[in-house]
Structure formats: structure tokens, C-alpha cells
Amino acid sequence: HITPEKFYVEACDDGADDVLAIDRVSTEVTLTVKKDVPPSAVTRPIYGILGTIRLVAGTYLIVITKKKKVGEIFSHAIWKATDFDILSYKKTMLHLTDIQLQDNKVFLSMLSHVLSVDGFYFSTTYDLTHTLQRLANTSPEFQEMSLLERADPRFVWNGHLLREFAAQPEIHRFATPVMHGFITMHSCSINGKCFDWLLISRRSCFRAGVRYYVRGIDSEGHAANFVETEQIVHYKGSKASFVQTRGSIPFFWSQRPNLKYKPKPQISKSVNHMDGFQRHFDSQIISYGKQMIVNLVNQKGSEKPLEQTFAKMVNSMANGMVRYVAFDFHKECSRMRWDRLQILVDQLAEQQDEFSYFLVDSDGKIVTQQEGTFRSNCMDCLDRTNVVQSLLARRSLQAQLQRLGVLHVGQRIEEQADFEKIYKNAWADNANACAKQYAGTGALKTDYTRQVSLSCKDLLGTGKRTQWGLIMDGWNSLIRYYKNNFSDGFRQDAIDLFLGNYSVDEVEPASPLHVKKDWKFLALPIIMVVAFSMCIICLLMAG
């Protein structure tokens, strides 16, 4: 309910009388009741509060205005936020100069850009930020906490926007923690036995950004493009889960766009890599247990130094909880030899059996725990990584479905045509979602993921890439090239603003949006225009 003085946010649960009152002048947030809402207020439905942010014109309230139901996790509704509105506390912009108005418009367009990227999910009754295993190993006090308090901060993308709500525990239930990534759910049937199969990818908001602007780690050990992917099976009350992670190679390196198709990666020479590297794996071990690194980068050319440095640092760290395997994906699978991925799967099989998976029976008793995770990476942690993760997830799923009695002894998942199609398409959709969020286009190699039976047992005969798949890869590569070089700076700034890495200072005299460009920026375009004009004149006056 909007009035000139206040925003009133009314809870619509059955029997709820609570109303959140936000003062548009003092920005104070208090609790009140329905009868305090003035009848003259302009009323509209919203589905959640994303939070508040300060821009040049003052404070703005961001709300969810449209949602789409994805499905249900254990009877809890899961929603995708599909549209948002950014509401100004200020009733007029007359206090701003023309330059401030223009700056405010740019900052608003940045927020709109982040909100337009597909993949924001929320639930008002279920904690989407934690894996089944983390949720099963919690204290009674944890269960009593609000969703905002107990959420894993790595995966709450509106954590910065909700910082004022977080400071007031009595209004926590009005705050909606939102995760970014990918969720798909399917009700499946094999041998007449129905089960739910889910895939959840949670993108970390620490060191978040776009492809070439954010690589490696920061001083806290947070890796770029870090994604936790959980595959869940729910059958007759029993729940099984298998978790994997992906993230940029965890030391200090960069790959800034410079108009080349693939800029050369630069490893920083001025910092101590081991500090951040150690912090990264210390936090991974606390969160997930043992670590099996699966490094898929090329072992020649510009990617070679990264592979060598990674291997050297794992050896130097000498931590028995961290193991390392390098597999040159492009070399091994060159000329469409996808069957060679089985070499990697076989190499990791013993480790995967040792890590196991999380399983809780219908009585709520924990049967097995997952003792470690596979941390896969390539350069972008997108296309190659997704293919390998889908293979490892399939192998775990095979074991889970056999243990739950869905698959008979000797039966294999790839023989189940209907489920096979669901599985492959879901993993390809996951690849596309992660790629659009990081690189700005859909994933490459998804024709392979969609078409090929990913067990690798029968890849020799069917592991062909389609012509259309190759054309789409070329098109996506072209779009990536353009975006990485010409529009990703804006995308990176937008993400930094949204996540609070950059805060707008209302009284700051010099805006970072107005940087005076010197003569060097103008020289090249002027020379190009003159040269092009001379060329045209020579052609026209050739005689």
C-alpha cells in the first residue's frame, strides 16, 4: 500500500495481521497492524521484498512483482522471481542537478540489468541456500531461526539489500532471501516406481561477476564463478543427495579483455598466492570435507602455466584432504572422441565410492553422509565442467536408485529412455543458466549433453556432435566475444552495485561515471575515420 508518506507491506498469510511500515522520509521501518493502513493508499500485490538500496536520488525499495512456481521440495513451494519493481522513497527529483539525474538513471539501469538476468529463486518456507546434508546436521536453535538468519550468506544474492532488515529481528519474516542460479524438478517413473528428481545450482555472491573481469580468487579465498550443484532424489520418504562444486582456479590470476579472441591469462607475480589458496581450501574442507580437484584446462598453450601452477600449489600445500587430477579435456576428446571421458570417470570411481552420498531414510535416520566433494574447473567453469559434473552425478544417481530399490540389479539408467531424456535436458539447461549468468550467452557443447548417453558406455557409436550444435557454438562464441569486449564492463559494474561492492555516495562530488578521456582514446577512431575516407575516395576516383 503506497501513500505519499509511507510504504505499507501487508502480510497475506491466513490469520496474519502484521503490516510493515516504511517511512519514506526518515527511512525508519516499524511493525504496525492492518487497521493503520490509510484507505487512500494505492494498493498492489507483491510477492516479496528484495531489499533497499541508496542511489543518487536517495533510497529505493526493490520488490518482487511476478513469480512462477518451479515445483515443490518436500511440500514446500519453490518460486522463481520473474519481475521486479524499484520504488523511490523520494516523491520528486527536483532536488537533483541534470548530471545527478543522469547518474541516477544509469545506476537504475544497472539494477534493472541485474534483475533482468534469469535465475532468481526463493521460498517463504524452505531454506534453499543449504544442502540436505547441512540441514540434517543442525541444532534445534538453528531450526527456530528465521530464513534470513540461518541462510548461507554465500548464496543470498540480496544479502546487501537486506542489511537494514537483518539489523531488526522482529521484521525478519518480511525479508525474502533470494538465491541465484538454477533449479529444476521432475516427477519421474522407472519400473513403475515414482520418485522426484531435482537439480539445484547455487551461485556464490562472493567474488561474483562476469567472465573476463573476475577470475581466480580474492584475498579471503573466495573463487570466481563458484557454484554449488546438488542433485536430489526423493522416493517414498527417503531422500538422497549428491553435491559437487565448481569454481575458478584458486590463486591470483587475470584475463582482461583486449580484443583478442582469447586474451592470455596473466598470473600475478606481486602477491603471495599460498595465503588465499590455503584459505580457499580451508573453507571448502569445513563446508564439504575432502576435496578432489578435477582440473580440465588445456595442458599446452596459454592455459598450460595455470595447470602447472595449480598442481604445484596443491603439492606445496601438502594437505591429505586435498587431491588433484588433471585431465586435458580438449586434447583427450579431440575429433569428437567423447568416449574418452570414460577414462576420467574410471580414474575417479574409487574416490567417488569413498566420498559416497547423503542418504536419509523415511524415518529421518541418516544412513550415509557424503564425506567429500569433487571440485571441477576449466577456464570459465562452464562448458567442460558441466559435461564432467553430469557424468559424476549420473554415476552417483545409479548407485542411489539401486539402493532405494527403484532400479533392479543389473539395470542401468541409460536404458530408461524417458528418464534419460529428462536427465540430459536438465543438465544442459543447468549449463545454459550458469553460462548466461557468467558469460552472457548460452553454454557450448550442450548438443552433446542433450543427445549423448552420458554414461559413456555407448559413446563410441552415438557420441557425435550435431551440425546445428556446432553452428550454435560458433554463434554463442561470437556473441561472447562481443559482450566480453564491449558490454561486460557495464555488467560487472551493475553486479558490484547490486551486491554492495560499490556504494553510491550521495554527496560525492566526482561521479565514477564521468571519467575524462585523454587524447589517446580519440586518436585511434580519428585515424580510422580518415583512413576509411581516403580509401573510399581512392576507390571512387580510381581513374
CA distance 474 to 246: 24
CA distance 418 to 186: 12
Residue ending a domain, choose from 177, 209, 224: 177
Q: Do residues 445 and 378 touch, judged by C-beta distance below 8 A?
A: no
Residues 6+ apart with CB under 8 A from 170: 31
Q: Do residues 207 and 217 touch, judged by C-beta distance below 8 A?
A: yes
CA distance 380 to 383: 8
Residue type, 503: S
The predicted structure's pLDDT at residue 446: 60
Nearest alpha carbon to residue 369 among 356, 353, 352: 356
CA dihedral 347, 351, 353, 354 (to 10 degrees): 160
The predicted structure's pLDDT at residue 513: 84
Q: Tell me: the pLDDT tens digits for 4-22?
A: 999 999 999 888 899 999 9
Q: In terms of domains, do 195 and 71 share one? A: no
Residues 6+ apart with CB under 8 A from 8: 1, 2, 19, 20, 21, 22, 32, 36, 37, 41
The predicted structure's pLDDT at residue 16: 87
Nearest alpha carbon to residue 495 among 207, 170, 140: 207
Q: In terms of domains, do 316 and 431 share one? A: yes
The predicted structure's pLDDT at residue 483: 83
Q: How many residues does the chain have?
A: 543
Nearest alpha carbon to residue 250 among 229, 285, 226: 226
In a domain, 501, yes or no: no
Q: In terms of domains, do 149 and 238 share one? A: no
Name the residue range of residue 340's domain: 183-457+469-481
Cell representation of residue 175: 525479508
CA distance 218 to 306: 17
3-class SS of residue 325: strand
Eight-class DSSP state of 175:
B
Integer angstrom CA distances of residue 102 from 58, 61, 133, 345, 492: 14, 20, 48, 54, 19
Q: In terms of domains, do 207 and 321 share one? A: yes
DSSP H or E segment with residue 112: helix 98-116
In a domain, 213, yes or no: yes
In a domain, 525, yes or no: no
CA distance 363 to 56: 55
Phi, psi (5° rounding) for residue 512?
-70, -10
CA distance 501 to 341: 40
Q: In terms of domains, do 290 and 430 share one? A: yes
In a domain, 74, yes or no: yes
Beta strands in 272-347, from DSSP E residues, in sequence order: 290-295, 322-326
Q: In terms of domains, do 307 and 336 share one? A: yes
In a domain, 543, yes or no: no
The predicted structure's pLDDT at residue 462: 43
Query: Edge-to-edge, what's the strand order for the sheet holding 29-33?
Result: 6-10, 18-23, 29-33
In a domain, 446, yes or no: yes
Residue ending a domain, choose from 161, 177, 193: 177
The predicted structure's pLDDT at residue 450: 64
Q: In terms of domains, do 354 and 278 share one? A: yes
Query: C-alpha angle with apex 58: 46 to 41, nearest 5 degrees?
Result: 40
Q: In terms of domains, do 109 and 46 share one? A: yes
Eight-class DSSP state of 128:
T
Residues 6+ apart with CB under 8 A from 231: 197, 198, 199, 241, 242, 243, 393, 396, 397
Phi-psi domain of 244 (left: phi exceeds 0; alpha: psi -120 through 50; beta: other): beta
Q: In terms of domains, do 23 and 6 share one? A: yes
Q: Name residues of the chain where pLDDT drops below 50.
A: 452-463
The predicted structure's pLDDT at residue 445: 61
Residue ending a domain, choose from 133, 157, 177: 177
Beta strands in 123-192, from DSSP E residues, in sequence order: 179-190
Structural domain count, the chain: 2
Integer angstrom CA distances of residue 112 from 24, 497, 498, 541: 21, 11, 10, 50
Integer angstrom CA distances of residue 154 from 111, 159, 208, 463: 20, 9, 10, 37
Provide the whole-model pTM: 0.90
Q: In terms of domains, do 96 and 126 share one? A: yes
Cell representation of residue 447: 548438443
In a domain, 499, yes or no: no
The predicted structure's pLDDT at residue 171: 95
Q: In terms of domains, do 187 and 167 share one? A: no
The predicted structure's pLDDT at residue 288: 98
In a domain, 516, yes or no: no
Q: In terms of domains, do 158 and 228 share one? A: no
State the residue for C-alpha cell 543389473: 410
